[in-house]
A and B are shown apart, each in its own frame.
Chain A
Amino acid sequence: MSTRRLDTGELELGGGLEVLVAAALEGMAAGERLEVLTPSRSTALELPGWARIAGHEVVGERTPAGGPYAVQIARGPFARFLAEPLPERGSGLPLRSGELHTADLRPAADVPPAVEAAAGFAPLGAIAERGSPPFRWGLNERDAIWADDVGDLAEQASAAQWDASRDIPWEAACGLPDFMERAVSQVMTFIAQNEYAALYVPARFLVDINPRYPEMLMWLASHVHDEARHVEVFTKRSLIGGQPSYALASTELSLRTLLDEHDFSGAALLLNVLGEGTFLDLLRFVERHAPDAATRSAATLAHRDERRHVHFGISHIRRRLAADPDEKAALVGAAERRAAKLTEMSGLSPLLTEGLTVMAAGSLQPAELGEGAVAVRELIQTMEGNRIRRLRAAGFDRRTAKHLSDLHTPNLM
C-alpha cells in the first residue's frame, strides 16, 4: 500500500498541525497511510494520542538519521460526519453584472415539490448529516406556498428597505391646525392598527415554513419586516402632533378574523390580494391628500412595499389555481367563512370616513367638505374596481371575482 507523505514544517498540535493532518486524511481511503514528518520530538510523541481520539491509528514511528521524525498514521474507517462525501466542485452561481441574485440561487426546476417535514436548518445545497434531531414543519409542499417570482420579490424587498426615523421629513408634520391633526392622526392610527395584522399573519406562517424553501423564508421575513416598519411609521405619524386617536373595535373584529385563517393560500387571498390590495388605494388617497410632506412620504414608501406584497399574493394564487383548479372552492370558502363572521359590519367606520373627508377637503368649509366627501365616495368605487381587477389577475373568473370583492370586509383589511 502506498504511503503519502506530509511535511508539517514547524506546526504543532493545537497550533494548526491537526488541521493539516485532518485535511490530508480526509481525502484518503480507510487503511491508507499518511506519513507525517515533523522536526519536533514532542509532536511525534503526541501524535498517537491525537490520532487515536480522531479514530485513526499510528502504525509506525521512526527517526531517520539526521532527518525529521516520521509518524505513520493509518486512516480510520469512519467518516467524520454521517453524510456522503462532498461532491466535486461545480460551476457555482451565475452573476448578473457582478450581482448575485436570490432568484439565481437555484433553477426553478430544482425547487422540490415536497420536502421532508423533519428536515433541519441545513442551508440550500448543504449536505445534511444524518442523525440530527427531527423537526416538524407544517408547510412542506411547494405549491401550497410558492410564487414563481418569490426570489425576485425577496430581492426587491432587500433593495427597497427604508428608514422610518430618517427617510421621512418629520418636521413637515409639525404645526398642523387641530382639526387637520385630529383627522390625520385618526387615519394614521387606523392604518397602523391594520398593519399589525399584516405583520402577524405572515409571521405566523413564517415559523412553519420548511427551511428547504429559503426563498420563502427570505420573502416572508421581508414582509414581516416591512410591516413592522409600517407600524412604526404610522404610529410615529399619529403621535408626532400630540393628538391621540381611537383604535376601533370594529377594526379589531375584522383583523381578528384574518388571524383565524390557517391556510396559507387562504390567508394570501384575504391579506395580500384583498386586504393589502385595497390598502394600495387607501395609501394612494392619503398620498394625494396629505396635508404635509411627512404624511405623504410615509404613504408613498408604505405603498411601494404593499405593492410587492400584493404582487406576491396575486402571483401565488394564480400559480395555485393553475396547478389545481379545485383550489378555487377552498379559496372562496375562506372568504365566505370570514364574511360570515363580519355580517354585522357595514360600511366604513364613520371616524375613518370623517378623517379621510377632512384630509381630502383640506378645511372645514362646507364647499370643500362636500368635495372631500365626493373624493371618499370615489375612493370606495376605485377600491372595488381595483379589487376585482386584482382578483381577475389572480386567476378568478369575472363572477367569482365580483363575489369575492363583495364579500370583502368593510374595514378594508
Chain B
Amino acid sequence: MRRSATELRVGAVAYHPRVVTIWELFLDYFVREGVSIDYILYSNYDRLVEAVLAGDVEIGWNTNTAFVALEQELGSEARILGMRDVDATFATVIVTRRGETFDEVRELAGRRLALGSRDSGHAAILPLHYLGEQGLDAASECELVRFDTDLGKHGDTGDSELRVIQAVARGEADAGALGDATLATFRAGRVPAVADLEVAWRSPTYCHCNFTSLPSLDDGLAERWQRALLAMRYDAPGMRHPMDLEGVKRWLRGDRAGYASLAAAMRNKSPVA
C-alpha cells in the first residue's frame, strides 16, 4: 500500500532525534492495530498548529500551549483524542538554593526569578499565571531572568529548564520555574546543578500534551484511532522502548478541564509576546 494513502496523518514536532524512533515504532503499532497512519514531523509547534488547521494532518501531537493556541485560532473547541498518563496531573515547581526557600510567593517580590522559554506552558506561562493568582505579579514585581533557548518547541527540549536550574545554582537567579517532571528527570540523571536546590513551591496541576484533531474528523475514524491508542500496552515487549522514549506508561482519554488555566493565561495574548 502507498504510504500516502493512509487513513490518518499524525503531525508531531521533531524536538529530538528520538522522535523519529518513537513514531516509526508507533506507526508499526497502529498499522498492526488496523489503523493505517503516517507521521509528519515539523520543526516547531506553530507549523504543526497551522498544519492541523489547514488539514495537512488529521491529528497533531500538541503541547498544551499549542493546543490552546489552536483552539483560540479555531474559535471553537477542538477534539482531544488522548494524552499520556504524565500529562494528566502536570505541575510547575519553583526551586531555590538550599536554605533559601520561601513560604509565601509574595516573598519573591523584588527577587530574580528564572523562567524557561517564554512559549513553554510549564516553564514560563503557567508559573506567571499561578503566581498572579496567588498575589504576585511576577512580570512587574520580580526581575525575570528568561532563557528563550528553544522557542517554537514549547520547552520540549528541556534545554531552557536546564539553564534555569543552572542560573539558580550559580546564584544568577534567586528562584527558577520548571516542570515537576523535568526536575524529576534531572534528579534521576544526577544533573549536578540540582543537587543543592530545593523545591519551594508547587503549582496546581494542569494538563500538558494531547492529541488534537479538528471537530470535523470522522467519528468512526477518531474512535478507531483512540481505541488503538488506549490499547497500547507498556507491558508489551515491543512497546516499552518507544513508550519509554515518549515518557508514557498508559494513554488516557484526556480532560479538557486541565487546560482552563492556560487558556485563561493565553487569552488574547500570544504566548511569545
A residues whose Cβ falls under 8 Å from a Cβ of B:
12-14, 18, 40-43, 45-46, 48-50, 52-55, 57, 76-79, 82, 130-131
Q: Is the CB of A45 within 8 A of B199?
A: yes
As a 0/1 sequence over residues 201 to 226 of chain B, the CB contacts with chain A under 8 angstroms (1 = contact) are 11000000000000000000000000
Contact in complex: B235, A82 (CB < 8 Å): yes
User: Which one of A13, A40, A52, A131 lies within 8 Å of B181 (CB-CB)?
Assistant: A52
Main secondary structure of the interface of B (DSSP, over half): mixed
Given known pairs A42-B101, A82-B237, A82-B240, the reply for A13 and B187 (CB within 8 Å) is: yes
A245 vs B194: C-alpha distance when bound (angstroms): 66
Contact of B184 among A49, A77, A130 (CB under 8 A): A49
A49-B181 in contact given A18-B187, A42-B199 (Cβ < 8 Å): yes
Q: Knowing A48-B91, A48-B180, say if A131 contacts B187 (CB, 8 Å).
A: no
Q: Is the CB of A46 within 8 A of B240?
A: no
Q: Is the beta-carbon distance between B201 and A45 smaller than 8 angstroms?
A: yes
Given contact pairs A49-B93, A49-B181, A76-B249, A14 touches B190 in the complex (Cβ within 8 A):
yes
Q: Which of B89, B194, B250 contacts A14 (CB 8 A)?
A: B194
A283 nearest CB across to chain B (Å)? 52
Interchain CA distance A76-B249 in the complex, whole Å? 10
When distances are taken between beta carbons in the complex, the residues of chain B under 8 Å from A78 are: 234-235, 249-250
B235 touches A49 (CB 8 A): no
Contact between B238 and A53, CB atoms less than 8 A apart: no
Find out whether the CB atom of B187 lies under 8 angstroms from the CB atom of A48: no
9 smallest CB-CB distances across A and B, nearest first, come from A49-B180, A131-B237, A42-B198, A14-B187, A130-B237, A45-B199, A53-B184, A45-B202, A46-B199
User: How far apart sit A78 and B248, CA to CA, in the bound complex (Å)?
Assistant: 11
**Cβ < 8 Å to A, chain B residues 158-213:** 179-181, 183-185, 187-188, 190, 194-195, 198-202
Beyond known contacts A18-B188, A50-B187, A76-B249: 6 more, CB 8 A cutoff: A45-B200, A48-B202, A49-B91, A49-B93, A52-B184, A77-B250
Q: Does B241 sit at the interface, judged by CB under 8 A?
A: yes
Q: B86 within 8 Å of A by Cβ?
A: yes
Chain B proximity of A77: nearest CB distance (Å) = 8
Measured CB to CB, the closest approach of chain B to A30, in angstroms, equals 12
What residues make up the interface of B, taking CB atoms closer than 8 Å to A?
85-86, 89, 91, 93, 101, 179-181, 183-185, 187-188, 190, 194-195, 198-202, 234-235, 237-238, 240-241, 247, 249-250
Partner of A55, one of B181, B241, B249: B249
Cβ contacts under 8 Å, A13 to chain B: 184, 187
What are the residues of chain B within 8 A of A79 when measuring CB–CB?
235
Decide: A131 and B241 in contact? CB cutoff 8 A.
Answer: yes
Complex-state Cα separation, A18 to B185, whole angstroms: 12
What are 30 inter-chain pairs, A to B, with CB distance below 8 A? A12-B198, A13-B184, A13-B187, A18-B188, A40-B198, A41-B101, A42-B101, A42-B198, A45-B93, A45-B199, A45-B200, A46-B93, A46-B183, A49-B91, A49-B93, A52-B89, A52-B181, A52-B184, A53-B181, A53-B184, A54-B184, A55-B85, A55-B249, A57-B89, A77-B250, A78-B234, A78-B250, A79-B235, A82-B240, A131-B238
Q: Which residue of B lies closest to A52 (CB)?
A: B86
Shortest C-beta distance, B266 to chain A (Å), equals 23
Residues of A with C-beta under 8 A to B234 = 78
Residues of B within 8 A of A14 (CB): 187-188, 190, 194-195
Cβ contacts under 8 Å, B195 to chain A: 14
A54: chain B residues within 8 A (beta carbon): 184
Of all chain B residues, the one with the shortest Cβ separation from A17 is B187
Expressed in whole angstroms, the Cα–Cα distance for A84 and B187 within the complex equals: 28
Q: Is there an interface contact between B200 and A42, defined as CB atoms closer than 8 Å?
A: yes
Residues of B within 8 A of A50 (CB): 184, 187
In the bound complex, how far is the Cα of B101 from the Cα of A79, in angstroms? Answer: 36
| Inter-chain contacts of A52 with B (CB < 8 A) | 85-86, 89, 180-181, 184
Q: Which of B188, B198, B199 contacts A53 (CB 8 A)?
A: B188
Residue of A nearest to B185 (CB): A53
Chain B: minimal CB distance from A295 (Å)? 57
Collect the chain A residues with CB atoms within 8 Å of residue B247's CB.
53
Inter-chain contacts of B250 with A (CB < 8 A): 77-78
Q: Compute how far the CA of A12 lies from the CA of B181 in the bound complex, rounded to whole angstroms.
A: 16
